[in-house]
Amino acid sequence: MANTWWELQILCEPELEDSVFWRLGNFGCRGTASEKKGNHSLVRGYLPIFQAQLLDLAALSLWLRQDALCMEVAEPSINWQFIDEQDWASSWKQYWLPQEIGDRFLINPAWYPVPANCDRLIIRLDPGMAFGTGNHATTQLCLESLEMRFSELPAAFVAETEQAENTVIADIGCGSGILSIGALLLGAKQVYAVDTDPLAVQSTQENLLMNGIDAERLVVAQGSVDVVEKLITAPVDGIVCNILAEVIIELVPQMSAIAKPSTWGIFSGILVEQSKAVADTLEKHGWVVATLWKRKEWCCLNVRRS
């Protein structure tokens, strides 16, 4: 039973899909996938059997129905079953296809051939049980924000940063390493990536090798901001953090301590209704919110030091 997983299947209206992803993430799911079923979305979530009992699943079902009621859409259909670890490791992959993000990125699942004559920056990825496939709105917003940070235009957006080749970034809650790898492909000099989940650390290490990135350019460690502070020799130029709003709020003082006067930040994993609380906390610690980008019910804060 130690190697048995729950597979949760939620058939819902497309408008509810992001809320389902958020609920599954908070519930502890180690992986998610979605596909279209006619006019509906079928979302799958996976978590070890020891993390949830039937009463927990019933509570999750109730929350999802309440979300649907609040959004005035049809209630989702929710089912669950046991699957073996070997089945879990491969079952969701058939639903994840190569995906273009922003103007420059292509997320290419490791089991698909790399397309020939592609003019995009290709991130080869096998997230395993870590968050970060590029399918979620928060990951897309962060990658698009990184694009903007490393682009030449608009100049006002990047005027306070150093040249890309000298930029050192901290990736807090790195998951699969997708944002770290994206930053390096855009031209960052070095990234310090940390995550409290050892499976995420392993996933990031494997993905950096898959993308041919020098381990000296992407330093990966288990932990949080305190670990980054021990690894770096000088304050970082940029911070990317795609986790949960309440965790961001808790970590803002520590992240401020590893920043310099010109440091910028990209923060996501934030529901729109949580953005004010996060922005208020950032401003109390010397940050200014430059832009707020929204996608459905999620948002991304692009910030800089005041």
pLDDT in tens, 160-185: 444 567 899 999 999 999 999 999 99
The top-scoring range by mean pLDDT among 19-33, 77-91, 156-170, 229-243 is 229-243
pLDDT reading at 85 higher than 70: no
H or E stretch covering 267: strand 259-271
What pLDDT score was predicted for residue 88? 59
Which residue from 123, 89, 120 is spatially nearest to 109, judged by alpha carbons? Answer: 123
HSE of 269, CA atoms in CB hemisphere, 13 A: 20
Instruction: Say if residue 163 is in the same domain as residue 288.
Output: yes
Amino acid at 123: I
Instruction: Say if residue 56 is in the same domain as residue 109.
Output: no
User: Which domain-ending residue is among 94, 109, 126?
Assistant: 94
pLDDT reading at 119 higher than 70: yes
| pTM for this predicted structure | 0.75
Specify whether the CB–CB gap between 109 and 96 falls below 8 A: yes
The residue ranking higher by pLDDT, 25 or 92, is 25
Instruction: Say if residue 102 is in the same domain as residue 89.
Output: no
The percentage of the chain sitting over the pLDDT mark of 70, rounded to a whole number, equals 90
User: Which domain-ending residue is among 94, 115, 135?
Assistant: 94
**110-129: average pLDDT:** 87
Say which DSSP state 182 is in. H
3-state helix, strand, coil in the chain (%, to 5): 40, 30, 30
pLDDT reading at 2 higher than 50: no
| Owning domain of residue 124 | 97-305
The top-scoring range by mean pLDDT among 30-39, 59-68, 89-98 is 59-68
Specify whether the CB–CB gap between 142 and 218 falls below 8 A: no
Per-residue pLDDT tens digits for 243-262: 889 999 999 999 999 999 99
**109-114: average pLDDT:** 89
Number of domains forming the structure of the chain: 2
What pLDDT score was predicted for residue 42? 94
**137-159: average pLDDT:** 76
Task: Tokens 């949830």: give the residue.
Answer: 52
Specify whether the CB–CB gap between 189 and 165 falls below 8 A: yes
Specify whether the CB–CB gap between 187 and 210 falls below 8 A: no
CATH of the domain at 210: 3.40.50.150
Measured CA to CA, the distance from residue 269 to residue 242 in angstroms comes to 5
CATH of the domain at 85: 3.30.70.260
What pLDDT score was predicted for residue 162? 46
What pLDDT score was predicted for residue 288? 97
pLDDT reading at 150 higher than 70: yes
**41-48: average pLDDT:** 90
Measured CA to CA, the distance from residue 227 to residue 25 in angstroms comes to 24
Place 227 in a pLDDT band, splitting at 50, 70 and 90. very high
**194-219: average pLDDT:** 93
